[in-house]
Structure 1
């Protein structure tokens, strides 16, 4: 089976490659050979490879910068996946779109979002991903070729993410201020990558449509937390395993005290029961998965993509 992965140098792309099942041939696409701002050249690559699957991990993920670079965000997050979906449909392949909890606002909310709830993004990043979802639903309507997998608060030992940001701030700061009134569910890149490969190995894709009605699935690690709670766990576990040697204070603040260009969802927990049932797969608690990632970072301190205590 041929699987084309966009954004292969990003954190999820790297995890997918690391966990690649047998009998899968990966075509790893990244900016140098697959610039998602140049859609025509990307389509030529897709036509030449004729993949059985495209996993679209490539995305414009700078939430704040998207507010001032709307055109770039829309091209990468909306227009490119729309074009890729149209092309893979013609080729008879399948498409897995990685999406986000940012398609929801989280306003006046205290229960997890189901896969069928109305999208309500607050900013350009969320809007660009919501537009892509709608386009992909329309393109693959009546087929079993398109799946949308929403996730949240993705973290791992490489790439750009909250986990590595907090670790690196420990090297530079005596105190770190972290928002405590935004609630979501952290997700390990490895648990998400495992789910992606389980989706691709499904033998009868009609059951996805039957179970979800709209081809949308949700996945994150079990439980919910604020960014402050996640930062505290990173600090405590990091100190316990010897990854962090200084005692930086983690200070909770409100969203209103945090300066940013983009609005974030206040509550963006996703309901994952249909995915767990479909894949016969349970999600582990986010604290357990976070500790596993911290241990891997400790064991790979020389990895240039990871937090590196030698920089102290």
Structure 2
């Protein structure tokens, strides 16, 4: 059975992974802000355009992988972040309410404050610290309000996403390992790096589930294990050398958050409990370092 999926954010790192792993049973309509080549233009800051795209394509699913993800810049551009992260998913959900499709809303660990010290379950209250997290939380709430009562939408939260393309911590660290002798990286923020490859697999598996009458309103997906940004940076250096992307790794010095102030406050602990998702989809956990090795193998030298 073929399903039609309208994908937003197709030019981003997750969007590219989703396109690369798209099942043959999916008719994929890929969109990005500017449109390019095979990508159709869809500006998520334009709510009217979002509704129109749903009515035009009448998809079985909208996979909303697009977002305003510049965490620090969001503090200076709250209106734009709100438009992309909250108004767009609301408009997409409103369109689907009329056309009858379903929605997969990709969200973030930043909807939590990071204070509890053990993995967050999907049903825990949202309590974001900054503009980015608050706008993503608003997007979650909008989708739940419009489609959630009918079981026609699920929010899939994830954390610390990176891949072999785009702009992310992995590619930044590889560049800095090449350019510098020493790096200072935060050690007191703990979460789990998540590969776009494994995240895309989870997205497609979720949409391939039988058309059951009800979907959980929120699920979590990230790779297994835990890490600080310091741990992640050290592993990138080690594996970068092992895979021939780096001649040598820089010395990575652990620092605390107070030594590296940023405009946006970040959760100090944001591990997500993914047990429900793994059970529902029948997917095994992949340790973040194993996933990192797989991604680094795909990075162009």
- Under a length normalisation based on structure 1, what TM-score does the superposition of the two structures give? 0.92
1:66: which partner in 2?
A: 74
Q: Does 1:162 align with 2:164?
A: no
Q: Partner of 2:297: helix, strand, or coil?
A: helix
- Residues 91-240 of structure 1 aligned to structure 2 (within 5 Å): 91-107=99-115, 109-206=116-213, 208-209=215-216, 215-240=217-242
TM-fit CA distance, 1:207: 5.4
- Residues 251-266 of structure 1 aligned to structure 2 (within 5 Å): 251-266=253-268
Partner Cα separation in structure 1 for residue 18 and residue 251 of structure 2: 35
Most deviating of 38-47 and 11-20: 38-47
Question: Aligned residues, how many?
Answer: 293
1:306: which partner in 2?
A: none
2:38: which partner in 1?
A: none
1:212: which partner in 2?
A: none
Partner Cα separation in structure 1 for residue 245 and residue 112 of structure 2: 35
TM-fit CA distance, 1:23: 1.8
Q: Does 1:84 align with 2:118?
A: no
**Over aligned residue pairs, what C-alpha RMSD do you find?**
1.1
TM-fit CA distance, 1:139: 0.8
Contact 2:4 2:27 in 1 (8 A): yes
Partner Cα separation in structure 1 for residue 249 and residue 62 of structure 2: 44
1:16: which partner in 2?
A: 18
Partner Cα separation in structure 1 for residue 191 and residue 148 of structure 2: 30
1:50: which partner in 2?
A: 58
Partner Cα separation in structure 1 for residue 212 and residue 78 of structure 2: 35
Gaps of 5+ in 1: 210-214, 302-308
2:246: which partner in 1?
A: 244
Partner Cα separation in structure 2 for residue 117 and residue 269 of structure 1: 13
- Under a length normalisation based on structure 2, what TM-score does the superposition of the two structures give? 0.95
Partner Cα separation in structure 2 for residue 42 and residue 168 of structure 1: 36
Contact 2:8 2:15 in 1 (8 A): yes
TM-fit CA distance, 1:283: 1.5
TM-fit CA distance, 1:247: 3.3
Gaps of 5+ in 2: 35-40
Per-residue displacement from partner, 1:29-52 (whole Å, max 9, x unpaired)?
001210111221232222111111
Contact 1:178 1:252 in 2 (8 A): yes
Contact 1:7 1:30 in 2 (8 A): yes
Partner Cα separation in structure 1 for residue 246 and residue 197 of structure 2: 23
Contact 1:155 1:187 in 2 (8 A): yes
Contact 2:50 2:91 in 1 (8 A): no
Contact 1:11 1:156 in 2 (8 A): yes
Per-residue displacement from partner, 1:228-278 (whole Å, max 9, x unpaired)?
001000001111121111331111110000021000000000001110111
Partner Cα separation in structure 1 for residue 179 and residue 54 of structure 2: 44
Contact 1:208 1:278 in 2 (8 A): no
Most deviating of 121-130 and 247-256: 247-256
